[in-house]
Structures are given as structure tokens and as C-alpha cells.
Amino acid sequence: MAFDVRAGERTTDILDGGAADEPGPATLRLDGRVALVTGAGSADGIGYATARRLRGLGARVAIVSTTRRIHERAAELGATGFVADLTDEAEVGALADAVSEQLGDVEVLVNNAGLASRASPEVLRPVAQLTYDEWRAEIDRNLTTAFLCSRAFIGGMAERGWGRIVNLAATAGPVNALPTEAAYAAAKSGVIGLTRALAMEMVADGVTVNAVAPGTIYTAASTVAELKQGLGTPVGRPGTPDEVAAPIAFLCSPAASYITGQMIVVDGGNSVREAEFR
């Protein structure tokens, strides 16, 4: 028996014995499900923290980065590591085949690859000085990676009738922007557009697609300027990778089945306040 929101009464014909008749509350557990987290090469990063949480929920986890250090992270987590350039269509296809062969069909995908690191720093130039190659590099690593990886796995998710995709956006672009980061802001805004469009394409197939948009997060790649920005948030500090991984893991779970096409901002309230108050 389901609740008819139009009439405000109980009714038996709205959901036809659907979700309302399923026993017990939805679970956070991912026991036996295969999850792939991209951009998990840093032990202090969001990807690593996310993979650790998904492992804790029972998932069989694969992680990928562009360097062989991913195998160290995999050994630490009890996960399976892969090396791939996710801006390369052929390498993404090879990754999809390798994960499927070694672990099984991917049911949970976290598109974290693309966040800036010391090894691959964000391009910071005014638009008038930004080269075309620099523009393309930022778009490719922050947006194209999410597109290629999502495309590689959504067919299988749709066939099985269940899947979770969580894309890493940022507050820069979808919420606010700073001078000299137009390419990064444009790419992360594009991640939100991709998230919402894909959510509507996949909703009938039992696949949810959401985004998490971190603000200033304290990682090994953080600059002094970024950490100072974090101290200026309403919470009074930068966030931690695990504080971003927590909502990502929830969105990956069966319990998040009625959430799709959404963006969760994790920025210590920074995007909400109207003025400085500390």
C-alpha cells in the first residue's frame, strides 16, 4: 500500500506493490558489489578515503590512477589497483575490460580523477593568457575522464537494473569562481551538466547519478593559500578527505535510491554565508 501524494490518502494502485512493500529499511551495505574509484593514487586524497569507506561497506574495490603508486594504495586497502590514462578512450576501454575480468561487473563508479595535485597542478591563468592546450588539458582531466568512464560502464549497469555513479565536481564553477581558474571552473560546471543529463537518461534503468562538490579540503596537494581559505570558512577549518568520502559513500549505497541528478556541496558552509562573521 502506497501513499498518494496527490490525494493525501493511502492507495494501493500508485506503486503497484513497488518500493513501499519492500521489507525493512534500505541498507548502506555494498556487500559483494564491485566498485571502481578513479584518481585514488594519493594516500591523503579523496579517492583513497572513498575507496576505504566503500571497502568498509563490503564492496569489492578497484582503484586507478596514472602512476604505479596505485599498487601501494591497493595493497594498503585490500583493493585491486590499475594504471591508466583516463583521458585516453582506448585506455578507458582496456581498464573496463581488466576490471570486469578480475573483479566482475562494475556496479558502483566514483569519478574522482581530475582533481589537481602537485604532480599535475591546476592551470592558473586569466582567460586572455590561457592557451588552447592548457584549456583542453583542464577540460580533459576534469570532465572528459568522467564522460569516458561513465560511458564505459553505464551499459552494464542498465542491463543489470542497478548502479551508482558519483562524480566529483567542486564549488569552483557550479557555485562560485576565482580569477585565473576559468578552465577548471568550466570543467567542473560541465561535470554537473553531465551528472544531471546522465541521471535523466539512466533513471528508468535503476541507475542513480549524483555529484559531490568539495570546497577547500586539506590534502597533500593543498597549498598554503588554500589552507588559509579553509580557515576562513564558517566552520573555521578546511575539510578532510574523509568528510567528502562520507557523502560519496552514502550516494553509492542502496539507501540513496531516491536521490539522483543532485549535487551535494561539502564546504563547511562557505557557499551559504552572505558575509564574513568571524
pTM over 0.85: yes
| pLDDT tens profile 171-195 | 999 999 989 999 999 999 999 999 9
Q: What are residue 115's phi and psi, to 5 degrees?
A: -65, 145
**Residue 222's pLDDT is what?**
79
- 88's enclosing H/E stretch is none
Q: How many residues does the chain have?
A: 278
Phi-psi region of 71 (alpha: psi -120 to 50; beta: other; left: phi over 0): alpha
**Residue 115's pLDDT is what?**
63
- What is the share, in percent, of the chain residues with pLDDT greater than 70? 88
CA distance 207 to 192: 17
**Hey, what amino acid is at 250?**
F
Q: What confidence tier does 8 reach under pLDDT thresholds 50, 70, 90? A: very low
Domains located in the chain, CATH noted: 34-266 (3.40.50.720)
Report the chain's mean pLDDT, rounded to a whole number.
90
Closest CA to 206 of 164, 176, 248, 243: 164
Q: Which residues are catalytic?
A: 184
C-alpha dihedral sign at 86, 133, 197, 260: positive
| pLDDT tens profile 31-54 | 999 999 999 999 999 999 999 999
- For the record, the C-alpha cell of 268 comes out as 563547511
**Hey, what amino acid is at 190?**
G
Is 21 strand, coil or helix? helix
Q: What confidence tier does 219 reach under pLDDT thresholds 50, 70, 90? A: confident
**Residue 123's pLDDT is what?**
77
**Residue 62's pLDDT is what?**
98
Contact 230, 243 (CB under 8 A): no
Q: What confidence tier does 10 reach under pLDDT thresholds 50, 70, 90? A: very low
